[in-house]
Structure 1
């Protein structure tokens, strides 16, 4: 899946000279958490979060309503330089940026111009779609040898039952590199026939791992 498929293209931005008070109003009125700061050519030169603005705002106990702090330009508190991504980047790859850098959003840039934004909420929703948990389904986890051709071998068993596979994930098996764990989401509420077929082919079913009488 590409970034362009999940990014928001309607992005609220500010110029670096805009006052902090304007950023505060935009964040509050639009229920957003980040504002890219762009120059006159729509190039990203910084980013400001709601936390940045809160930290720069006067205390609620301050008697000075028209605070001088809020008149300061947004460039005085923005974060720069900014890590950006491209519309043709893979979502799975930029997920590492969110994790490693602990970002809550990243601007999307093409030809040095801002074209969109991706937030951690967008990433979480995409993960839900990729794992198939957004549709009614059953989950089956299978321990398999780590060898070429094992995936089609297993999916053929599902095919014989004419069961729709919603998603497939592959995980390492603990610390043993000789095995993998295949996690299937299948559109059936009764996985017992498939589980029995898998066991008949000598595959180890990790989940559900209950006996046939309990399923």
Structure 2
């Protein structure tokens, strides 16, 4: 999945000449936490609601001067060295950048022109969709030897049961020489599939049912 598939295209932006009060009003009106700063269509900075709140006088400070928000321009507070993404970047690479740099968003640019924005929420929504948890499914974890062909063998068992798969993930196992395959499958009663896995000699680590005796 690419960044252009998950990004928000209708981006709320600011001008460097906007005041902090205007920026705060826009942030509240549109309920957005990250505001790219654009000049002539080019991305020149980024400001967040956290930056704006930090600049605002505390409500506990009786001597605080509210007029400061009207006197200071966005360009004086904005971050100018902005980490960005390209529309054709992979979504997981964008997620890695957000995680690595402890940031809340990535403006998406093409030749310095702002074309979208990817936020933490976009990444989380994409993860939920990719893992198949936004639809009725069952989650099965299977421990298999860490060698080629294991996924195909388990998939053959699914095909024999005519069970469709929503998502598959592979993780290292705590047991040396093994790996864990996690399936999201489109059935609410996976007991037959679980029995097939165990009959094939593999260990089911986690599943929603205890397998009972008798035919399924």
TM-score by length of 1: 0.93
Equivalent position of 2:99 in the other structure: 99
Equivalent position of 1:193 in the other structure: 192
User: Judging changes above 3 Å, is the alpha-carbon distance between structure 1 residues 94 and 66 closer, same or farther for their aligned structure 2 residues?
Assistant: closer
Partner Cα distance (1:20, 1:112) in 2: 24
Equivalent position of 1:51 in the other structure: 50
C-alpha offsets along residues 133-162 of structure 1, whole Å, 9 cap, x if unaligned? Answer: 000011100011111222111101000000
Question: 2:139·2:182 contact (CA, 8 Å) conserved in 1?
Answer: yes
Structure 2 alignment gaps of length 5 or more: none
What RMSD over aligned residues (CA atoms) do the two structures have, in Å? 1.9
Partner Cα distance (1:86, 1:169) in 2: 26
Partner Cα distance (1:59, 1:207) in 2: 50
Partner Cα distance (1:123, 1:135) in 2: 18
Give the C-alpha shift of residue 44 in structure 1. Answer: 1.3
Deviates more, 1:144-153 or 1:109-118: 144-153
Equivalent residues in 2 for 1:54-69 (5 A)? Answer: 54-60=53-59, 61-62=61-62, 67-69=67-69
C-alpha offsets along residues 135-193 of structure 1, whole Å, 9 cap, x if unaligned? Answer: 001110001111122211110100000001111011111262x2111000111111110
Equivalent position of 2:155 in the other structure: 155
Structure 1 alignment gaps of length 5 or more: none
Q: Secondary structure of the residue that 1:144 maps to in structure 2? A: strand
Partner Cα distance (2:49, 2:118) in 1: 16
Count of residue correspondences: 213
Partner Cα distance (2:152, 2:57) in 1: 61
Equivalent position of 2:139 in the other structure: 139
Partner Cα distance (1:71, 1:129) in 2: 44
TM-score by length of 2: 0.93
Give the C-alpha shift of residue 98 in structure 1. Answer: 1.3
User: Judging changes above 3 Å, is the alpha-carbon distance between structure 1 residues 107 and 8 closer, same or farther for their aligned structure 2 residues?
Assistant: same
Question: 1:15·1:39 contact (CA, 8 Å) conserved in 2?
Answer: yes
Equivalent residues in 2 for 1:1-215 (5 A)? Answer: 1-40=1-40, 42-60=41-59, 61-62=61-62, 67-174=67-174, 176=176, 178-208=177-207, 211-213=210-212
Give the C-alpha shift of residue 3 in structure 1. Answer: 0.4
Q: Secondary structure of the residue that 2:212 maps to in structure 1? A: helix
Q: Secondary structure of the residue that 1:87 maps to in structure 2? A: coil
